[in-house]
Each structure stands twice: as C-alpha cells, then as structure tokens.
Chain A
Amino acid sequence: MNHDNFFFKHYGLTQADLPRYLAAALSAGGDYADLYFEYLSSTSLSVDESMVKSASQGISAGCGVRVVSGERTGYAYTDDLSPERILHAARTAALIASGPAKTPAVGFQQKPARSLYPVSLPSVDAEITAKVELVMRVDAAARAYDPRIKEVRASYADELRNILVVTSDGTIAEDSQPLARLNASCIAKGEQQSGRGSAGGGGRVALDFFFGEKTPEHFAKEAARQAILQLDAREAPAGEMEVVLGPGWPGVLLHEAVGHGLEADFNRKKTSAFAGLVGRRVASEKCTVVDNGTMPWRRGSLNVDDEGQPTQETVLIENGILKGYLSDKLSAKLMGISDTGNGRRESYEHIPMPRMTNTYMLPGQDDPEDIIRSVKHGVYAVNFGGGQVDITNGKFVFSASEAYMIENGKITAPIKGATLIGNGPDVLTRVSMVGHDLQLDEGVGTCGKDGQAVPVGVGIPTIKVDRLTVGGTARKDSGGFMQ
C-alpha cells in the first residue's frame, strides 16, 4: 500500500489498523466485512440576477463499516476517524452476525489501478476566481442570446472524493475522484407564453475543460435556445403514437426502461419485471445496450467502484437478447454471477448496491434523416427532464422538455413538455430504426435509488419507437397540433 495514501497522511491511519478494524467487524462471525473511508471536499457557486449570490465550500469525512452474513447486512458509520469510533462502528455492524469470530485475510492485494480521470490540479483546488468567471460568462451569454431571456441562473459545483476501500477478503483500493458541473437555466417571456430551458455538463474533469471543450457560452446558448423555443410551443398530443428520440440525453429512456430493471439486487429478489429473462428477447435485434464505467473523464465513470472492484464494460442487451445484470459483491456472490464492478454508494453513510455507470445503446445503420422521414404522425423528442420507473411492473416515464411534431416525414411545430410512458420489458422490442449517430449526454445525470444519489451518464443514437404513449393535452380530433 502506498504510504502517501490520503488517509494515512491526514488521519494517521496505518496499515496495521486495517486488520484490527476488520477483525472487530467480524468479531461475531459473518462472511465478509469492508471499510469505506471517504473524504469529500466540495465547492459551489451560483449567479442570479447577474450577481454571485451564493458561494460555499465544505468538507465531509467518515468511515462506513459493513458486515455481510448470508443475505444479511449490518452497517454502521462514523464521521470521526479516530480508532475508538471506527472500532465502535465495526462492533455495531458486527451485530448482524451471530457466531464465532472470523479472521480477515492477512495482507492486502491492491487491484491494478486504472487512471480514467488524471487531473494534475483537481478543480476543487483551482482558483475560485476562475470559477466565478465561468458562472458570470454563462449569465452574460444567456442574456445576450435574445432580449426575451429575462432570468438567468448559472451554477457551478465541483468536488473531490478521496476513497479507500479495504475488505476482509484481502482487497485494498484507493481512488481520487474529481467531479465538476456547470449549469445554465433561463426563463424567457413572450407576449403569450413563458418558457424555461436548462443545460449543463461536465464530468470527472479539471477546470480547463470549461475553458476549452465545453465553454460557458455553449451551455448558456443551449439553455436560452430551449427557453425561447417554448414561447411558440403548441399543446402536445395525447395517446399512443410513433416517437423518435434524438441522440444523447434521451438515452435516459434506457436508464429507466431497462437499466434499473437489470440491477442484480432486484433480480436476485425476483422483484424486477426482468427477473428470469436472461437469454430471452427483450428488444428488437437492432438494439445493443451496454453499461460502461471505464470511459475516460465521464461523469458516470469510476476507476474502482465503492467496493474496490475495477469497473468494466458490461453488455446488458446484445442484438435484442438479454445477456446479464449489473452486480455488486453481494448479488454476485448470492447469484453465482460475476461482479461487474457496479457496487456504488452515495457516501460513507450508505450501504452499497448495484448501480449504473454510463448506460448507452450502440449505434445502428440508419440515417437519422431517414428515421424522421419514415414517420407519418408522431413526436420527435430531443431533450428530457428526468424519469422514473416501477421496476416490478416495468412501467417507466421520462419527461420531454424539448419536442416537436413530425407530420408526413417532416419536423413541424415545437410542442409543450410532455411525459412519455411505456413498459420496460417491451418498449425496446418496438425499436424499428437505430441511427448511426450515437451521442453521450454532456454530463448532467444524477440517479436516485433508495434515497441514494450517484452521478451517471446515458447515451443513445437517434431511434424510432413504433408505439409509445405521449401524455399531452391536445384532443386528437381538434387538429390543434396540425400545421
């Protein structure tokens, strides 16, 4: 183990402490125990009415101790990293088991380290004035876009999470995970209608990302464009119809419709609509969906997951056939499947569970323009708010924030925001065209499960779903959305 590990250096933790803590965790038996040390430092800034109204910084640190005995998990944590408090947490977590003490493995193996997000200067340590410049530039660019943009809010947030994971089966892993995000949100006022738009992005990147690849002006213009567009939006239709999803963030469809349902914990417990469907067709043969935690710089990527396991690319659906699940250690062991490195947690206060990283559909053969041309009457949805799924009955929603009518093969009028609703296990069987234009989102996704939030990514090429329910307000016979 590297002696300049963060926790060794700053908290006086030593190599010799680790087996002692694990032994306390296994003092009442149990199959497995782990320690998760976390030190999180964060900054946030926001601009409203062209003023930097809020600036904050914070530090949170702690250690979580988990003991697993069969299907049972005991968990305790402390925000005080003194040996007494860690031992106390370990003994509390130990109470899940009841039996003779077990001895943790002697000597730790460090997993081969990846370096998906090497930053020389983490953004949390960068000059605050540069971050102020970013939010002020968002504000200026959004206001300059159109005089009808009346309100602009810009925010910037970054963090650096140092983790150390130590397990009773002899794994030790450390990582330093940067994360930064810049966001713009705008309100436009027209004579008749108002509109709002928001855009943002980032990833596990250094501050220079926002001065080069994705500038404040890029996000500002995108948010302003969406807000202005809504000023002319018509009522959205209601009912089943053809739906074309644009590339990128509309990949939230995959996250909700299939991603959550394929998390191994739900399948181990047989509470998911996808339980028992491995090897069966769950999508058209044009669909191949993967979860990939190894993409450099991406918001959903991790060198190792929060159980110390290296992340990987996992094929979930291949040419329409369900191939497997996303697992953490517990599910992998209990189901006899491999650990895909998807064990994640919000913080040291939380028990890890299977979570997505970056989830996307591989590109197909179709030309995006041909896809639009093939639709007689339908909706083209290019931007979304969030979504939600009931993994047991498979029903999912995702809310379009920018969408258009397609009439006779042509994109016509913008329509108001509407929720799209479908059934996870069969929505992808109705995907009849897949574009060659795969895009990933710009780095805005945060996924919630059991009250735990973790950053994720999504992506999708342009696709056509032959039938999906659109939740608008227009009466079909009113012609309200005709040109």
Chain B
Amino acid sequence: MSEIQTETTQLETRNPKLESDLRELAQDMVRRAMAGGATAAEAVVREGDEFSTVVRLGQVETLKESGSRAIGVRVFFGKRAASTYSSDFSRAGLDRMLKSALELAKITSEDPFGGIPEVSQLGSLKGDLDLYHEDVYSLPGTQRIEYARRAEKAALDFDPRIKNSEGGSFDAATGRKVLANSHGFVGEYRRSYCSVAAIPIAQDEKGGMQRDYWFSVARNLGRLDPPEQVGRIAAERTIRRLGARKAKTSHVPVIFDPMVAASILEHIFEGVNGDSVYRGASFLAGKLGQKIAGENVTVIDDGTMPGGFGTSPFDGEGIPTRRKLVIENGVLKSYLLNTYTAKKLGLETTANASRGLAGTPGIGPGNYFLQPGTKTPKEIIGDVKEGLYVTEFLGHGANLVTGDYSRGASGLWISGGELTYPVEEITVAGNLKEMFFHISEIANDLEFRGAVASPTIRIDGLTVGGE
C-alpha cells in the first residue's frame, strides 16, 4: 500500500484579484497594441492546472501536479498580421512580447482576407454550459490514487492471463481561457476534465503478449464510470486479442467499432476543414451541395451541447458557437470554417475557429458526430458471413488530397455472424471518396468519449491486406 500523503498538495485557493487581473490583462494587451499603432488586435490568456497519477502493479509509479499559464497576442497593421506568445508575465516579458508582435507584422504580406471578425458577429452563448466542475479536484490525493489503483486491480483480477500492466491512471485538469479583441469583445470560460484508465497486458502459454486499454472521461467526477468497470473492460479487450493471427488478403465487409469509426469520421472533418478546402487540398473541395456519402449518412457539428467535450460558449475568434449539419442524408451541406477561410470561400464562418497561443486561428470541431442508426452492433455483425471487425488502427495512412486510405489494423475475424478469433498485422485500404458511399450500416451505439464520436459502422468494398 502506498503511504503517500497528497492532501497537502491541494492547489492553493485561487486569488480572486488575480482572476480579474487576467481578464484585465488581456484587455490591456489589446489596448496597448492599438496604442502601438495596430489597426486591430486580439489577446488570449490561458491558465490551467493538471494532476495525474499512474499506479502500476499496485504501486504508485508517478504523481504529477502543477499549474501554468501563458498569453498570446495577434496584431494587425491593416492587412498584415503577426502573433507572439509568452509564459513570462513580468512587465518586461509582456513588453517584449508586444514589441515583437508589432515588429513582426512588418514582414508579413498584405492579405486582403485578413482581419478579426465584425463587431456584429461577436458574442458568447448565455447560460451554464456545464463545462466546469470543481469536483474534479475535490478528491483527496489518496482517493485519486485509489481510483487509479482500483482500475488496475479490476483488470489484474479479471483473468489469470493478465500478468502485467502499464498501469491504472487517474487524471484531472482544469483550464481557463480569456479572449479579448479590439472590437471590445472580452469573454472567458473554464472547463474541467477527469479520466480514469487501465492498460493491462495479457500473456498466453506461448509467451505472446497483448496490450489494450479502456478509459472513462468526464467533465465531473460524478459522471466518471466506476474504476472497476473501466478495468474490467480493459481486461476483456486485452484477453480477446491473445493468440491473434494474420488474415488472408481479401475483400470482405469491414465493421469498425466506435473508437476506430470516430477516426474515420475525422477524415471527413479534415476534408471539410475550410483551410484544406480553399487550397484544393481536400478530396471534398468543391463538393458543397453534392452527394459525398450514402443516404444514410448524416454528420452534425454542434459546439453548444451542454457538458460536451467539444463545447464552448464562443470559438477561438469570439463568435458564439452553433449547431450545423455537415452532411445531411449524404449531401455535403456545410464546410467547417473560421473567419479567414469563410472570406476566402465567400461564405459565412461556422464558428469553428480554434486558437492556440500563437499563429493564425485554425479550425477545430465542436461536438462532431455521425447520427446513429437503429440496429445494435450485434445485429450488424450477425449479418456478416465472413468479415473483419476492427478494434484498433495503427499508423495514419490517409491522404486527404487523393483520398487514398491505407492503415494498419487489428481486431477480430467475423465468421457466420459471430466474432471468432483475433487477427493482427493486417491492413485496411480503400479510397475516402468512395468509402463514405459504402457505409452500409450504422449502429445505435453513439457515445461521446471525446469531441468526435461515431457509432459502430460497416463499410463494404475495402481491401484487407494480410498473408
């Protein structure tokens, strides 16, 4: 048993003065940039705390606890822009950050589409979006360690073949973001997060090892799955991989579990990302209003869902988030855009700007998901005579320009409508332009474990590469 005492490491109580200071600081940076000659400016301040612990084979392996903050500014001189950031909040540090931004803007190009949003576009969703719960830090230190220990123990106790482990873990984090710009916008929000995970390792009689994992993640502690459940599922997923073999190279129906299906759905996200679209770097560029998938495919992006992992009251440029249909019954209805890419394409922003500390705003998902169907995953598997059920991808073999798709995979072989033996060291390949027309089944098991989520899906016409 661990004798660690972490109760005393509770983060110091927040200083209310400092809190208003960060908001004031962001506005002050904007004012000073304008006084320095900028024609528009934007400042972002981020502050966060993190806690993480790993318990391995019953013993605490790591314990990490800290907080940090940073500030970034983006300035415009007419149509030229530049950005700088700093973790140094001293007067000298902030002065230098501002001065560099103003100087750097001199060397960038005039871009007719550059600029911050119009005043009329700015704003923030009202009401409680259920994003922040202090209870992620409410557990005393020993209890946090217990969460990690319980998850790992449940996995180790599940089956004698679970002989080793990369540990159980518990993580908690809170973050605060303040955004201010020279149109008078100032907004802020906090988000919290906690997760419990287990990574067991199983070994068969021949010495072959397999590892898998499971986790639960939530914005508050109360919604986290019990650690025992997480550990048990992790163990089940690991045990079923023992004795995996290669499959024959073949063309069979492929069913993707929700985790890997979400990764396929991300390719649509990358494909409708305005940044790829205006550059012609996407297989979906120029396809607005056209059929890009089967009738059964409806994809939604919604930054407003209370408690969601992709929810925020405003996007990275200070525009209220919204819900939009990306694909409706197979027809591409909307790209996902920020202010810049919207102007480039002659469209309205979809409030998908994502803002790091530095650089130009990118594009990020809200809660982005494939609308579920009605069949259970079991029914969908039951319809397949010979096929592949994929539970894990290895590598990132998608070419968004050409749509070529080829990834390493492992999972279970389907025979006679049942999951049979495990398979590994195989590839799944096709082309994204065709794959979304060949989603022949969509299950009813949509569950958000992150900002992007998908139910189980079946895709036909793919090549399985193996022996």
Q: Looking at the complex, which one of B61, B280, B424 makes contact with A393 (CB distance below 8 Å)?
A: B424
Given the known interface contacts A269-B56, A392-B201, A392-B209, the answer about A51 and B111 at a Cβ–Cβ threshold of 8 Å is yes
A16 at interface by CB-CB < 8 Å: no
B118 at interface by CB-CB < 8 Å: no
A75 at interface by CB-CB < 8 Å: yes
Query: Beta-carbon contacts of A45-63 to B below 8 Å, as 1s and 0s?
Result: 0001101111111111110
| Residues of A contacting B109 in the complex (Cβ-Cβ under 8 angstroms) | 51-53
Select from chain A the residue with minimum beta-carbon distance to B396.
Answer: A386
Q: Are B395 and A77 in contact (CB under 8 A)?
A: no
Q: Looking at the complex, which one of B64, B104, B394, B410 makes contact with A55 (CB distance below 8 Å)?
A: B104
Given the known interface contacts A269-B164, A393-B211, A395-B408, the answer about A52 and B108 at a Cβ–Cβ threshold of 8 Å is yes
| Chain A min CB distance to B311 (Å) | 23
| Chain B min CB distance to A262 (Å) | 16
Task: Tell me the count of chain A residues lying within 8 A, CB to CB, of chain B.
Answer: 82
Select from chain B the residue with minimum beta-carbon distance to A237.
Answer: B465
Select from chain B the residue with minimum beta-carbon distance to A392.
Answer: B211
Query: CA–CA, A413 to B425, complex, Å?
Result: 26
Q: Are A473 and B431 in contact (CB under 8 A)?
A: yes
A195 at interface by CB-CB < 8 Å: yes
Residues of chain A from 362 to 388 with CB closer than 8 A to chain B in the complex: 385-388
B4 at interface by CB-CB < 8 Å: yes
A349 at interface by CB-CB < 8 Å: yes
B264 at interface by CB-CB < 8 Å: no
| Residues of A contacting B56 in the complex (Cβ-Cβ under 8 angstroms) | 71, 269
Query: Beta-carbon contacts of B435-456 to A below 8 Å, as 1s and 0s?
Result: 0000000000000000000000
Q: Are B62 and A395 in contact (CB under 8 A)?
A: no
A44 at interface by CB-CB < 8 Å: yes
Q: Which of B82-90, B122-130, B319-327, B413-421 contacts A (4 or more CB under 8 A)?
A: B82-90
B407 at interface by CB-CB < 8 Å: yes
Q: Are B63 and A472 in contact (CB under 8 A)?
A: no
| Residues of A contacting B100 in the complex (Cβ-Cβ under 8 angstroms) | 57
B174 at interface by CB-CB < 8 Å: no
Query: CA–CA, A56 to B84, complex, Å?
Result: 5
Task: Tell me the count of chain B residues lying within 8 A, CB to CB, of chain A.
Answer: 86
Q: Are B59 and A471 in contact (CB under 8 A)?
A: no
B139 at interface by CB-CB < 8 Å: no
Given the known interface contacts A73-B62, A189-B280, A422-B425, the answer about A397 and B397 at a Cβ–Cβ threshold of 8 Å is yes
Q: Are A388 and B426 in contact (CB under 8 A)?
A: no
Q: Are A419 and B107 in contact (CB under 8 A)?
A: no
Main secondary structure of the interface of A (DSSP, over half): strand
| Chain A min CB distance to B359 (Å) | 5
| Residues of A contacting B396 in the complex (Cβ-Cβ under 8 angstroms) | 385-386, 388, 399
| Chain B min CB distance to A354 (Å) | 15
Q: Are B68 and A417 in contact (CB under 8 A)?
A: no
Q: Are A393 and B66 in contact (CB under 8 A)?
A: no
Q: Are B465 and A238 in contact (CB under 8 A)?
A: yes
Interface centre among B110, B463, B464 (most CB of A within 10 A): B463
| Residues of B contacting A398 in the complex (Cβ-Cβ under 8 angstroms) | 395
Query: CA–CA, A49 to B278, complex, Å?
Result: 11
| Residues of A contacting B105 in the complex (Cβ-Cβ under 8 angstroms) | 55
| Residues of B contacting A423 in the complex (Cβ-Cβ under 8 angstroms) | 425
Query: CA–CA, A91 to B158, complex, Å?
Result: 38
Q: Are A79 and B397 in contact (CB under 8 A)?
A: no
B265 at interface by CB-CB < 8 Å: no
Query: CA–CA, A61 to B93, complex, Å?
Result: 11
| Chain B min CB distance to A125 (Å) | 12
Query: Beta-carbon contacts of B378-402 to A below 8 Å, as 1s and 0s?
Result: 0000000000000000111101011
Q: Are A395 and B425 in contact (CB under 8 A)?
A: yes
Interface centre among B9, B426, B430 (most CB of A within 10 A): B9
| Residues of A contacting B467 in the complex (Cβ-Cβ under 8 angstroms) | 239-240, 469
| Chain B min CB distance to A411 (Å) | 20
Given the known interface contacts A61-B87, A386-B395, the answer about A476 and B249 at a Cβ–Cβ threshold of 8 Å is yes
Q: Are A95 and B59 in contact (CB under 8 A)?
A: no
Q: Are A472 and B425 in contact (CB under 8 A)?
A: no
Given the known interface contacts A56-B82, A239-B249, A399-B396, the answer about A196 and B402 at a Cβ–Cβ threshold of 8 Å is yes
A351 at interface by CB-CB < 8 Å: yes
Q: Are A471 and B281 in contact (CB under 8 A)?
A: no
Select from chain B the residue with minimum beta-carbon distance to A151.
Answer: B279
| Residues of B contacting A238 in the complex (Cβ-Cβ under 8 angstroms) | 249, 427, 429, 463-465
| Residues of A contacting B394 in the complex (Cβ-Cβ under 8 angstroms) | 388-390, 395-397, 421
B299 at interface by CB-CB < 8 Å: no
Q: Looking at the complex, which one of A76, A96, A128 makes contact with B4 (CB distance below 8 Å)?
A: A96
Query: CA–CA, A423 to B466, complex, Å?
Result: 12
Residues of chain B from 78 to 126 with CB closer than 8 A to chain A in the complex: 81-89, 93, 96-97, 100-101, 104-105, 107-111, 114
A475 at interface by CB-CB < 8 Å: yes
B69 at interface by CB-CB < 8 Å: yes
| Residues of A contacting B249 in the complex (Cβ-Cβ under 8 angstroms) | 238-240, 476
| Residues of B contacting A240 in the complex (Cβ-Cβ under 8 angstroms) | 249, 466-467
Given the known interface contacts A58-B357, A194-B401, A393-B211, the answer about A421 and B281 at a Cβ–Cβ threshold of 8 Å is no
Q: Are A58 and B358 in contact (CB under 8 A)?
A: yes
Interface centre among B97, B100, B408 (most CB of A within 10 A): B408
| Residues of B contacting A421 in the complex (Cβ-Cβ under 8 angstroms) | 394-395, 408, 425-427, 465
A303 at interface by CB-CB < 8 Å: no
| Residues of B contacting A95 in the complex (Cβ-Cβ under 8 angstroms) | 4-6, 8-9, 63, 141
Query: CA–CA, A60 to B141, complex, Å?
Result: 29
Residues of chain B from 300 to 330 with CB closer than 8 A to chain A in the complex: none
Across the A-B interface, the 3 shortest Cβ-Cβ residue pairs: A471-B427, A397-B408, A397-B395
A-B contact pairs, 6 of them (CB 8 A): A75-B66, A77-B66, A151-B279, A238-B427, A351-B64, A472-B406
B positions within 8 Å CB-CB of A: 3-6, 8-9, 56, 59-66, 68-70, 72, 81-89, 93, 96-97, 100-101, 104-105, 107-111, 114, 141, 164, 166, 201, 208-211, 241, 244, 246, 249, 251, 279-281, 357-360, 394-397, 399, 401-402, 404, 406-408, 410, 424-431, 463-467
Knowing that A469-B466, A471-B408 are A-B contacts, what are 20 other residue pairs whose CB atoms are under 8 Å apart, sorted by A's residue number? A57-B104, A58-B358, A59-B88, A62-B68, A72-B59, A73-B62, A77-B66, A79-B69, A151-B280, A239-B249, A240-B467, A269-B166, A390-B394, A395-B410, A396-B394, A401-B399, A419-B407, A469-B465, A471-B397, A471-B427
